[in-house]
Chain A
């Protein structure tokens, strides 16, 4: 068993945070102007780039849906993103699972009925992994879709939470993630609605409610941070237009 003191009796975690504190959250939008929408998100040392093309006419007829837009997710995890170099193929089971989870999340968050017979292509590139990769990807996709001007119901802000003994811990880094069961949720805007919930191992039912409450509060905080970035970027563009 790991002898790491993941949560000290004094209430501090391995990296010096308290139980309900997020890691450093940095985001930028419109990082790749060649695409319709793009973003770069850092959650702690997890780093993700997302680039969105569309809504556009699908290159293949098979992708056409008469009633709504089709969202296509392309995930790419860099082989240097983990401690030991490891190449992940696109057909890796975990990758497929993450891809499906993300597709389902955004199919219901994007107002896809506004864009019938179009394709929205989302490319996600993971540069570094330090826990909560799925949450970081979700946040990056949200920002890139907003940058692309795709209509959404609200922000989808994702965060992970784990249970250590009795204490819920918010936003796990990789050391913590390896040692406890963790839950990733995507919160819709400032509501308590969830667009995504992924639990890969067991979590005691009696602790779940508590963990969810902590995670939702964390999600709201991330939404605010993303909102700040979107607004400041918007203001910047407006000021360029007017001057």
Chain B
């Protein structure tokens, strides 16, 4: 029943009626739906739509995106593409590829279907439309008078939508033929992978092609052919038996979760054993253990899965064995799908070993419940970087496509089966693949090749691989983003006339007369903080921290802002920095470079002799830095008694106060934890990595740090005061006692008399200080490193998420904290700047930072980005340390950090590297025995000497750099000497 009515304003209205069932009952929903005639076709070749454009609320007219000279096919036909839902869902990578798919029309109905099926793909599609460089447009066919179609009687909703897509392609053909300004009207090709729909479309006179046919008909089709994602059938070889258990149906899992027999949680593969993983569910305190291929049931690391508990007789303790993907199933044939056995012999042996152990030890206390995966709610699939396993490539076959394995860089993931014609060329290259499916009758997931990054071990390829693996956005900034920068570019200056009618400029405080200087690491380009100090007549000190005023340039709701928000942080690799904001801002306009005037956001305290805060003021300001010191330079200047100018004096004041601040912090129980941080020196000429050095800390390092902490704390209090619901803060939760159980247990056995208490951060700090081995200086640091790993990660949050007592920063021992001091490289600081500006009445705070939900989204993203950036940075160091070792193999001191029944983990402090030594490398595997009580592994080494090593033992290891044959990753290998 459809009633159409024409309105005076040129709209036609109809009623959309549908039935929705909820909780068993059903509801009839009637919605209005307006059809209009002013939706443009977005083609520059059309001379009709340009007369019929309507502006939006900001008065901007829509841009005509589709070129009047679109790409040509092989046979020369100019065309636009209309895509169907199934193509978008299957081949979004191909749509994003810069070699094909230009001038694409996405019908609204396709966009909606995509959104319902997969929200991430929808977002990628929307991003494509927004970026405009690939000329994608969304055509709102459902709102267009001529393309809206009504559902017919007995027609399924899918058929109706297919028909709507066809109608849309047809309309484009007619429309372009009628109004085209070019001689030969542009053709429209419907790309659709549904055979039946294609047939119908062709009958209606539309040029409909399957994705494969379309790619084939492009001039560069040969190149692109391999990128077409696999459809499920393409791997099929009558695989008769089902290997993996089928997943439960949605209704069954929903019911199971509701009545508490099934549990949902995120699956994490164990770092040391790929046949073991755990799922942390809210229902249990301890994670559920999942062991064995069948129980893992095709779950990937990071998937959201639903699990079912196994009977109690199958409960067991986590294995103490190291197991990597490379060691099992290395001989599998990529083509051979109908393997007789899912569980390999090797895996069986491992299981048997475990079983023997389980029967001997009745260590009830360590027993952990086990479970099996019965369904996967959300896959964590993304792009993966890996390389083709050489053993799976058949060198005989010429150019026909063949199936081969891709071994991923991420050790905890299985290899992926892909089909490619270029297997031989791709050997020895880092390639990006994407996973398409993992059917139950395939031992390995199926995927397709996306692109090659270059040969393994070349700097560019490795860097890109690392960035992709850690999901870091590294592409150059888009034009839309760069357009948000000031027009003056490099020549931007602080206006000379401060009274030029700009209301905000008037509110800035002129601090150019203060003796401001900055202290940073050498060669620092993005200087985001500067300091000054001066004695006051009343014996107190005035101390100012000046932070680059990034928010003056990054206004909310601009492309620049959303890009910064999505990147979240700058990423520092050994040889490269991936900026959060464009270079112009980071290293020039915002950076508080010496001798030039800059806008800043200043925090100015009045501190008394004991560094207690008497008063604090916040202001937007104009400053002129007198000098940019490196830490060493500043240190030298302080120590040089002959320098007594005002600037040096003020640094000395700062140093004096910072020591007091630090002492106060330590007294309050701030932790001094340790992680082995190293720095790689690069040869300045060849930019080859030269040597590795553990970072040194100078007094001036902590000078800057103390004042930054003080600024962050003061700002946190202020913005929490002004915006109690949405203040951007940072917290660090106290570690749960269970985290330290294992470490304390080890300490009890290995170092009697030592323990770590965790009642408070003060107690922890004190007990750490007590853990000293007089014979071994490094032991204390080692304990600190191991404790750091037991701590919780600090996180950003918006103040509505927790109660005030939970705001506490455990590590710094303060009740409230935020990040304010590095807005050039962290987005949290940008938000904090805006909130502080709002709190002091400088400008209105944008609504997105006053909205709990929006803040929640921002916080979640920056937490993720922050973590990824840290991992990427560490991975980069690891890679370069490996490169350095290539030339400097040596024997070093190392410490055992972990022990397993078939290997140990050793840390080499000199290089900050940690490596696993497997039993096979230690000596005779058969003679080895592992004493679990004592955390000791005894074995006979290759010389026939029997040895015993346990946790905390100091050992001599030979450090070598080897390339892992399977994953092509170069890393440090340790060998016990």
A167 touches B34 (CB 8 A): no
B844 touches A206 (CB 8 A): yes
The CA-CA distance from A3 to B557 in the complex, in Å, is 20
Q: Interface residue tally of chain B, by bracket? A: 35 or more
The CA-CA distance from A45 to B28 in the complex, in Å, is 14
Does B58 touch A at the CB level, under 8 Å?
Answer: yes
Among B11, B35, B56, B62, max chain A CB count under 10 A is at B56
A173 touches B27 (CB 8 A): no
Given the known inter-chain contacts A10-B140, A83-B27, please indicate yes or no for A15 contacting B32, CB distance below 8 A: yes
B11 touches A21 (CB 8 A): yes
B29 touches A17 (CB 8 A): no
Q: Interface residue tally of chain A, by bracket? A: 20 to 34
Tell me, rounded to whole Å, the shortest Cβ–Cβ distance linking A26 to chain B.
Answer: 9
121-152 of chain B: CB within 8 A of chain A? 126, 129-130, 138, 140, 142-143
The CA-CA distance from A175 to B33 in the complex, in Å, is 13
Tell me, rounded to whole Å, the shortest Cβ–Cβ distance linking A14 to chain B.
Answer: 8
A3 touches B5 (CB 8 A): no
B557 touches A8 (CB 8 A): no
Does A36 touch B at the CB level, under 8 Å?
Answer: no
B11 touches A17 (CB 8 A): yes
B54 touches A166 (CB 8 A): no
A residues in contact with B115, CB < 8 Å: 3, 5
B27 touches A165 (CB 8 A): no
The CA-CA distance from A21 to B143 in the complex, in Å, is 14
Given the known inter-chain contacts A24-B13, A24-B32, please indicate yes or no for A11 contacting B27, CB distance below 8 A: no
Does B419 touch A at the CB level, under 8 Å?
Answer: no
Question: Could you give, for residues 7-27 of chain A, a 1 whenever the CB lies within 8 Å of some chain B CB and a 0 otherwise?
Answer: 011111001111111111000
The CA-CA distance from A16 to B130 in the complex, in Å, is 20
Given the known inter-chain contacts A1-B853, A12-B140, A84-B27, please indicate yes or no for A20 contacting B32, CB distance below 8 A: no
Does B184 touch A at the CB level, under 8 Å?
Answer: no
A16 touches B27 (CB 8 A): no
B residues in contact with A204, CB < 8 Å: 844, 847, 850
Does A121 touch B at the CB level, under 8 Å?
Answer: no
B residues in contact with A18, CB < 8 Å: 54, 56
Given the known inter-chain contacts A16-B143, A17-B11, please indicate yes or no for A11 contacting B56, CB distance below 8 A: yes
B31 touches A12 (CB 8 A): no
Does B9 touch A at the CB level, under 8 Å?
Answer: yes
Does B119 touch A at the CB level, under 8 Å?
Answer: yes
B54 touches A11 (CB 8 A): yes
A residues in contact with B130, CB < 8 Å: 9
Given the known inter-chain contacts A17-B11, A24-B5, A168-B57, please indicate yes or no for A45 contacting B138, CB distance below 8 A: no
Does A54 touch B at the CB level, under 8 Å?
Answer: no
Does B7 touch A at the CB level, under 8 Å?
Answer: yes
Across the interface, name the chain B residue whose C-beta is closest to A203.
B847
The CA-CA distance from A17 to B39 in the complex, in Å, is 11
B35 touches A16 (CB 8 A): yes
B residues in contact with A205, CB < 8 Å: 844
Does B30 touch A at the CB level, under 8 Å?
Answer: yes
Partner of A166, one of B32, B39, B58, B138: B58
Main DSSP-derived SS at the A contact region? loop
Does B971 touch A at the CB level, under 8 Å?
Answer: no
B57 touches A45 (CB 8 A): no
B residues in contact with A1, CB < 8 Å: 853
Tell me, rounded to whole Å, the shortest Cβ–Cβ distance linking B847 to chain A.
Answer: 5
Tell me, rounded to whole Å, the shortest Cβ–Cβ distance linking A61 to chain B.
Answer: 47
The CA-CA distance from A45 to B56 in the complex, in Å, is 25
The CA-CA distance from A16 to B5 in the complex, in Å, is 15
The CA-CA distance from A69 to B850 in the complex, in Å, is 46
1-26 of chain B: CB within 8 A of chain A? 5, 7, 9, 11, 13, 15
Partner of A3, one of B119, B140, B844: B119
Partner of B140, one of A16, A19, A214: A16
B residues in contact with A207, CB < 8 Å: 847
Tell me, rounded to whole Å, the shortest Cβ–Cβ distance linking A15 to chain B.
Answer: 5
A residues in contact with B9, CB < 8 Å: 21-22
The CA-CA distance from A101 to B48 in the complex, in Å, is 48
The CA-CA distance from A1 to B854 in the complex, in Å, is 10
The CA-CA distance from A20 to B33 in the complex, in Å, is 16
Question: Could you give, for residues 21-57 of chain A, a 1 whenever the CB lies within 8 Å of some chain B CB and a 0 otherwise?
Answer: 1111000000000000000000011000000000000
A residues in contact with B31, CB < 8 Å: 15, 45, 173, 175
52-69 of chain A: CB within 8 A of chain B? none
The CA-CA distance from A45 to B14 in the complex, in Å, is 11
B844 touches A16 (CB 8 A): no
B32 touches A19 (CB 8 A): no
Across the interface, name the chain A residue whose C-beta is closest to B112.
A5
Does B36 touch A at the CB level, under 8 Å?
Answer: yes
The CA-CA distance from A23 to B34 in the complex, in Å, is 9
Does A147 touch B at the CB level, under 8 Å?
Answer: no
A residues in contact with B119, CB < 8 Å: 3
The CA-CA distance from A33 to B11 in the complex, in Å, is 33
Among B13, B15, B129, max chain A CB count under 10 A is at B13
A residues in contact with B33, CB < 8 Å: 15-16
B62 touches A10 (CB 8 A): yes
Across the interface, name the chain A residue whose C-beta is closest to B130.
A9
B residues in contact with A5, CB < 8 Å: 115
The CA-CA distance from A19 to B34 in the complex, in Å, is 13
Across the interface, name the chain B residue whose C-beta is closest to A83.
B27
A24 touches B7 (CB 8 A): yes
B residues in contact with A3, CB < 8 Å: 115, 119
Partner of B34, one of A11, A16, A168: A16
The CA-CA distance from A30 to B138 in the complex, in Å, is 46
B5 touches A45 (CB 8 A): no
Among A24, A206, A207, max chain B CB count under 10 A is at A24
A residues in contact with B850, CB < 8 Å: 204
151-192 of chain A: CB within 8 A of chain B? 165-168, 173, 175
The CA-CA distance from A231 to B945 in the complex, in Å, is 111
A residues in contact with B142, CB < 8 Å: 16
Tell me, rounded to whole Å, the shortest Cβ–Cβ distance linking A222 to chain B.
Answer: 12
Tell me, rounded to whole Å, the shortest Cβ–Cβ distance linking A194 to chain B.
Answer: 21
The CA-CA distance from A130 to B16 in the complex, in Å, is 14
The CA-CA distance from A175 to B32 in the complex, in Å, is 11
Question: Could you give, for residues 811-826 of chain B, a 1 whenever the CB lies within 8 Å of some chain A CB and a 0 otherwise?
Answer: 0000000000000000
A residues in contact with B11, CB < 8 Å: 16-17, 21, 24
Given the known inter-chain contacts A10-B140, A24-B7, A204-B844, please indicate yes or no for A16 contacting B36, CB distance below 8 A: yes
Across the interface, name the chain A residue whose C-beta is closest to B60.
A11
Partner of A19, one of B56, B129, B853: B56
Given the known inter-chain contacts A16-B33, A24-B5, A24-B13, please indicate yes or no for A8 contacting B138, CB distance below 8 A: yes
The CA-CA distance from A206 to B130 in the complex, in Å, is 27
Known: A19-B56, A24-B32. 10 other contacts (CB 8 A): A1-B853, A16-B140, A17-B11, A18-B56, A19-B57, A24-B13, A83-B29, A167-B57, A206-B844, A207-B847
- 8 tightest A-B contacts by CB? A16-B143, A16-B34, A167-B57, A11-B56, A204-B847, A19-B57, A24-B13, A15-B32
Q: Would you mind naming 9 contact pairs between A and B with Cβ atoms under 8 Å apart?
A: A8-B138, A9-B129, A10-B138, A11-B62, A83-B29, A165-B557, A166-B57, A167-B58, A168-B57
Chain B residues with a Cβ under 8 A of chain A: 5, 7, 9, 11, 13, 15, 27, 29-36, 39, 54, 56-58, 62, 115, 119, 126, 129-130, 138, 140, 142-143, 557, 844, 847, 850, 853
